[in-house]
Amino acid sequence: YIRKHLGGITKDTLDVENLEKKLEDMEIENRELKSKLAKLETSGDE
């Protein structure tokens, strides 16, 4: 209990950090794809 709840870096902490990094990467990719889609929709209107 003490190691898990009061210890330093644990497996859970590393998992959270990895998930936060993945989330950040996915948010960036999502913004890029939305931008690309907007450009395609704009060029399709011409």
Q: What are phi and psi of 9, to 5 degrees?
A: -75, 125
- Domain spans in the chain, listed from the N-terminal domain onward: 2-44
The pLDDT mean for the chain works out to 85
Residue 5: predicted pLDDT: 65
Does the pTM exceed 0.85? no
Q: Which residues of 11-29 are buried (b: 16+ CB within 10 A; e: fewer)?
A: eeeeeeeeeeeeeeeeeee
pLDDT of 9 above 70: no
pLDDT interval class at 21 (50, 70, 90): very high
Percent of the chain at pLDDT above 90? 54
Comparing 6 with 42, which gets the higher pLDDT? 42
